[in-house]
Amino acid sequence: MTAALPIHDYALLDDAECDARIVAAKAKLGKRCIVLGHHYQRDEVFKHADIYGDSLKLSREAAQSEAEYIVFCGVHFMAEVADILSRPEQIAILPDLAAGCSMADMANKVKVQQCWDELAQIIDVENAVTPVTYINSAADLKAFCGQHDGIVCTSSNAEKILNWSFAKREKVLFFPDQHLGRNTGYRMGIPLEQMVTWDFNKPQGGLSEQQIRDAKIILWKGYCSVHQAFQPEQIDAFKEKHPETIVISHPEACFEVCEKSDYIGSTEMILKIVREAEANTRWLVATELNLVNRLNQECKAQGKSVHFMAPTLSMCSTMFRTDPQHLCWVLENLAAGHVVNQVSVPAEQAALAKKTLDNMLLAS
């Protein structure tokens, strides 16, 4: 058999040529391959997805797919989830292995274990704390939750998952995104003072023993750099010019932005709400630029205008790494019988992580 085709042969291909070759490779692979696309993917890649969605929808699709190859146009943790939830003989592929998630990188096993151990000095962690990891995290952190009877959540099921967690134990350790945890907890009626932030660079998270004892949710001090760009003043300034504006935000946006928003929801929910809204409405959206631009184009026909909240254009640079050249490269290799860029989670870790993901899929 010939060797795998090297990526450098693709680097200089123009997008139009890639486009035609992606279509041809997909046709050759047929049902053996499914391409999943997250809503933040750029148009040139997104249009080749067989199924697109938010993290929860794509996890379900990966778990149910019959395809031999699951090509994930998204970021690394998403391909890991596809590998964990699919059958052992199925293969998960990430077109560019450097497509990570900067928020996911803000928590790691060493720091979370250290946090757990430090909490154990003060409270009975195993009986008092449910660890909850946002799906935007590495597989070993999902495995950590599996080991400690915890669970995974996404932006679309966080409230259900927190309810599940509080039914088990009185406190939650929530990582890595402080904003999703805080925004969700607050809407469930938990006062801000009972949601403390664990600074993973400080001893005991920078918290006093009393703060830890009194907390309902201990929030990891992680955040998304893309959603960090949205600020409440941007809403005020926009509404001054267009008072009729309806504001919708992803829960990774900060508390002050979510407080000023009419709706809060996952990427899939944002699309649904704006699509189903009355014609001729104006929307200000706090989430990634590719999604907002596509939604604006789509809704123009209904007289809706959809605006990006931040004055500077901020894209998710890691989602952007998946380009038509990488997609073409992985698909043509698969069509030629070569697997490149497989994402494979070690079996022991995958088994523990699967337990938490299964808990999540059942609870949501």
Q: Which two tokens stand for residue 176?
A: 């890595």
| Angle at the Cα of 361 from the Cα atoms of 356 and 364, rounded to 5 degrees | 120
Instruction: Decide whether 21 or 39 has the Cβ nearer to ligand 13P.
Output: 39
101 is in an annotated binding site: yes
- Helix/strand/coil percent split, the chain, to 5: 50, 15, 35
How far apart, in whole angstroms, are the C-alpha atoms of residue 26 and residue 137?
Answer: 30
Place of tokens 């935007």: 136
Residue in 35, 12, 13 with CA at minimum distance from that of residue 23: 35
Q: Is 55 in the site for ligand 13P (CB under 6 A)?
A: yes
Is residue 101 within the footprint of ligand SF4 (CB under 6 A)?
yes
Strand order in the sheet with 51-53: 51-53, 33-38, 69-73, 91-93
Evaluate whether 74 touches 41 at the Cβ level (below 8 Å). yes
When asked if residue 183 is in the footprint of ligand 13P (CB under 6 A), the reply is: no
Which two structure tokens, joined as six digits, stand for 303? 């007289």
Query: How is residue 137 written in tokens?
Result: 């995290």
Q: Which is nearer to ligand 13P, 217 or 224 (CB)?
A: 224
Is residue 154 at the binding interface for ligand 13P, with CB under 6 A as the rule?
A: yes
Smallest separation, CB 321 to ligand SF4 (Å):
11
Q: Are 363 and 32 in contact (CB under 8 A)?
A: no
Q: Which partner from the list ligand SF4, ligand 13P, none does 318 bind, CB cut-off 5 to 8 Å by kind?
A: ligand SF4
Residue 249 as a binder of ligand SF4 (CB under 6 A): the answer is no
Is 261 annotated as belonging to a binding site? Answer: no
From residue 32 to residue 51, the character string flagging contacts with ligand 13P as x (rule: CB under 6 A) and all else as - is: -------x------------
Among 59, 130, 133, 136, binds ligand SF4 (CB under 6 A): 136
When the beta carbons of 249 and 333 are compared against ligand SF4, the nearer one is 249
Residue 134 is assigned to a ligand binding site: yes
Q: Does 62 engage in binding with ligand SF4 (CB under 6 A)?
A: no
Give residues in contact with ligand SF4 (CB under 6 A): 75, 101-103, 136, 224, 226, 252, 288, 316, 318-319
